[in-house]
Structure 1
Amino acid sequence: MKSDVDELMPRLLPVEEYDVEDFDPSLPPRNPQEYLRQVQLEASMCPDVMVAQIDPKKLKKNQTVNISLSGCQPAPEGFSPSLKWQQLQVANFSDVRQNVNKHREHWKLQSLDNNVVMPNPEDEEGWLKFCLGEKVYFERLLSQDDNDNDNPGIDYVKMGFPPLLSIVSRLSQASVTIVLEYLMNWLGEKAFTSELGRWLYALLACLEKPLLPEAHSLIRQLARRCSEVRASLESKEDKRLSALNLLICLVARYFEQNDLADKE
């Protein structure tokens, strides 16, 4: 007599019949035949239809929200650069990128100073301190000790390491994207500083085309965030204006995100 398992579905692999007393499905299989027999038994105990229990209240809490991510915020009157200025910056930036690519291998082999310890890629706090310095990271003002004439050397731990070619040339494309994301997160919560601007420019110069999807999304976020900061400026004499315009220009004009570009 055929068992219920045999009647459930036709056999695709031959399984030898075992004596009821000899085959114990609760024990580990001793051979391939017993393994297949256990699979058949387990399949026979599965219900024909499974129904998922869904709590509608939980779905309401996780509704997808559509946010418009179309262009940058328009610049206040008189704050946007001319088209000629943008074209000049794109040409200069293209030269910088060519020089970086040309000399990348040379600078990668140069030894770093003993005080330059590059953080691990996953160390977000370490990279923020490395790029921006502890003074900016901890939002400390310069103290009298920082301007001590008896110690004219620059304390890069406090002031942040500049994006030297010997440093950025050591970054893989994955690391460039990661550090760019760290700085983007910082820019979304903190003030725009000259240290931050220098590193953002250097990382853009190290991005290879065609852009990876992660990098593409990040630079668009960068341009939008820069446009938000620019819109909050109170004067055209603000020292941050030129740097903000430059970053928006490079994302829009060089990396061809034309919908984000400043129009004359």
Structure 2
Amino acid sequence: MSSNKYIYKATRSNDDDAETLVSPCFHVGPEVQLKEVPTTGEEYLLKVIKERQNYSTITKCNKDYSKFSKNQSCFIEETKPAKAPDKLKPTIEWQNIQVADFSDVRMYLSRIQTKKTLWPSDLKKISVEHDSLNGWKQFFNTNEPTLTCVLGLKHTLLDRGLEILTEILEEVKPGFTVDYKTGQWIYAFLACTRQPLLSDTISILRNLARKCAEIRSCINPEEEDAPFAVTPLNIFICLVARYFRQYDLAD
């Protein structure tokens, strides 16, 4: 193959002064005619060459997007989770037990989901307005987190329900913890969360863990009932971090 360099000049009217220095990989003889529908390999190659000459080597953006670049980043900055007081921090042995118990629940649900003959006969059809906070609150208050309620929920409803439960945790006052029924719902939704996780689901899980860590950090470790108050919070943080593999949030 010849090592000679050839200069091809672009034929576009708005790029007449642009020149490119290239080495042709293939040579097309002068006897080859340009056809609208190529019938041979050389005719096809000639058509590609001609079409390529209509485009500049470097594509430039003619619009100014600099005004949109302020306060923007290709990364999402997350706040670091609040640290647990030493007296309330769970041991790794305790966390392993929670993950093992949760895995058993997930396996049980998985067996039921794969065999609809095992589904409860009184399975409820859930009708909740997707973005209605009051509608979700009413649903959580008037129903119990049983298989008949959660088993048939679609992936999008599971994600949205878990997101609403995290918003409900915003109402927990400093020094208090999650109420028992809300905790049951969170555990039930975590147990039904589909894997592999979608990016939106991961974000929701991480928000839940950070919120639980924030609530836990406001509980006085010297209070007599402090170990009981932080237990559900420790469980949710543990499951998000160690079962769903968001290890940077782990205690």
Matched, 1:193 2:179: yes
- Larger RCO: 1 or 2 (CA < 8 Å, sep 6+): 1
- C-alpha deviation, 1:126, in angstroms: 1.3
| CA shift digits 1:95-137 (9 cap, x unpaired) | 0001111123346452258xx9642444432122211x2xxxx
Question: Which of 211, 215, 219 is the equivalent residue of 2:201?
Answer: 215
8 Å CA contact 1:252, 1:259 repeated in 2: yes
8 Å CA contact 1:118, 1:130 repeated in 2: no
Matched, 1:261 2:250: yes
Partner of 1:75: 84
Matched, 1:99 2:108: yes
What's the Cα RMSD here?
A: 3.1
> Which ranges of structure 2 fall in alignment gaps of 5 or more residues?
1-12, 15-61
Amino acid at match of 1:102: R
TM normalised by structure 1 equals 0.60
Distance 1:248 1:112, change over 3 A: same
Question: Which of 222, 234, 248 is the equivalent residue of 2:237?
Answer: 248
**TM alignment of 1:1-264, pairs within 5 A:** 63-64=71-72, 68-69=77-78, 71-104=80-113, 105-106=116-117, 108=119, 110-112=121-123, 118-131=127-140, 133=141, 157=142, 161-191=143-173, 192-234=178-220, 235=223, 237-238=225-226, 239-262=228-251
Distance 1:124 1:108, change over 3 A: farther
8 Å CA contact 2:158, 2:193 repeated in 1: yes
TM normalised by structure 2 equals 0.63
Partner of 1:151: none
- C-alpha deviation, 1:221, in angstroms: 0.7
Distance 1:176 1:117, change over 3 A: closer
Deviates more, 1:218-227 or 1:176-185: 176-185
| CA shift digits 1:200-220 (9 cap, x unpaired) | 111111112210111100101
Secondary structure of 1:69 counterpart: coil
8 Å CA contact 1:163, 1:202 repeated in 2: yes
8 Å CA contact 2:126, 2:153 repeated in 1: no
- C-alpha deviation, 1:172, in angstroms: 1.2
Amino acid at match of 2:150: V
Distance 1:107 1:181, change over 3 A: farther
- C-alpha deviation, 1:84, in angstroms: 0.3
Paired positions, count: 184
8 Å CA contact 1:223, 1:247 repeated in 2: yes
What fraction of aligned residue pairs are identical, expressed as a percent? Answer: 33
Distance in 2 between residues matched to 1:123 and 1:108, nearest whole Å: 28
